A and B are shown apart, each in its own frame.
Chain A
Amino acid sequence: MLVLAIDTSNRALTVALASDQQLLGEITLNIKQTHSEGLMPAITYLFQAAKLKPAAIDRVAVAQGPGSYTGIRIAVTTAKTLAWTLNKELVGVSSLAVIASNVLSTQRLIVPVFDARRQAVFTGAYQWQQGHLVSVLSDRHIKLAAWLPELLATKQPLTFVGQTAVFSDTIRKMCGKQAKIAPEAANLPRGQQLAWLGQQAQPIANVHGFVPTYLRKTEAEATWLKNHPNNEGHEPYVEEI
């Protein structure tokens, strides 16, 4: 199975082409740029280098969030459009799982974190079980101060990975010896890992309906729904005219 993997959830951009277990190529950039400018040239180069036509792929695997809203929209829009227009399979993988899968050969709880500003994180907890990466505590948006006690209560050894730098002091202080912080090299998403995770997942049945996992309502919508619990006849939100 030939898989194209795409992740632009945060600052880094990573794309890979993998044929079954074999990586054909991966491009990972960790520079400040707009993903809109960087993504399609990277994909184009991968196919050129591999001497493959776009239609040769069997599946597109995309990191569907959480992460930067604009970033996950670019990846998801590109992935779903490619899958739809080429009539190929589409799978969505948690952007947090992609990072968690960098921490190999451990029975510890793997805790990927993305900085969501104002002391909050996008996070979850994963564990390797029979060679599969399993989500143990679901992906969520939560204040770090509320998340750490929940993790400590599992009594399991923890490995934090991802955007850990800003939180490492707090993590060490609150978790003590129960927590380790993964080495820097594990903090970047890798297209190869996404391709591998994407090969194991079930394809999406309805490509059109595929959207990013934001984990948060927009601020405007949250406020509106709080004041208008019945939505007052505004659905459907989008109509063909």
Chain B
Amino acid sequence: MFRYQVASAAATQQVGKQLGQMVKPSDVILLQGDLGAGKTTFTKGLASGLGIQQYVKSPTFTLIREYSSGRLPLYHMDVYRLENGGGDELGLEEYFGGDGVSVVEWPQFIQDEWPETYLEISFTKSTDNPQLRELTFSPHGKRYVQLVTQLQAKL
């Protein structure tokens, strides 16, 4: 586990960008945190790290948005709307095992679908400073321990 504090949206984005330069095909990154905690901001950074030029828009409505203009495809998923279930029918395993990087917001709603190994990042807002966030990186599996070590060295 590795904790990192950021003081602005730009800093959150910068961490995402670093990670985006390191990810490999089939990597799965689960983003935990409340509404407005910085998950999508982080994903924007990750997309730019992959070299994706388009806007990374909220995928809440269609649940999955695919971006193919970068170094690797990015599968950006937001299953916020599936609080009461429905995630088992989205075919997520095909994305997780696919050629791209999967980033999942609100992964707690599809817990049954989680792959065996993944990187979980939790975003916690500070109670006194609304700009301050703590990012907690919890790697599950060797690949992700290595990824977090690599990221830590860059930050």
Contacts and interface: CB of A to CB of B under 8 A. Distances in A.
Interface string A208-232: 0000000000111011100000000
Nearest to A70: B91
Nearest to B94: A32
B85 A223 contact: yes
B84 A218 contact: no
B89 A224 contact: no
B88 interface: yes
A119 to B, nearest CB: 13
B84 A224 contact: yes
Interface in B86-110: 86-89, 91, 93
A223 B82 CA distance: 11
Interface string A166-201: 000000000000000000000000000000000000
B84 A223 contact: yes
Interface residues of B, number: 10
A69 interface: yes
A224 B82 CA distance: 12
Contacts of A70: 91
A222 B88 CA distance: 12
Q: Which of A117, A218, A219 has the most CB of B within 10 A?
A: A219
A85 B82 CA distance: 36
Interface in A69-89: 69-70
Nearest to A68: B91
A69 B89 CA distance: 8
Interface string B22-54: 000000000000000000000000000000000
Nearest to B86: A220
Contacts of A224: 84
B85 A222 contact: yes
Contacts of B112: 118
B10 to A, nearest CB: 37
Contacts of B93: 117
A117 B93 CA distance: 10
Given A220-B82, A220-B84, 18 more contacts: A69-B89, A70-B91, A117-B93, A118-B112, A218-B85, A218-B86, A218-B89, A219-B85, A219-B86, A219-B87, A219-B88, A219-B89, A220-B85, A220-B86, A222-B85, A223-B84, A223-B85, A224-B84
Interface of A: 69-70, 117-118, 218-220, 222-224
Interface of B: 82, 84-89, 91, 93, 112
6 A-B pairs closest in CB distance: A219-B85, A220-B86, A220-B85, A223-B85, A219-B88, A223-B84
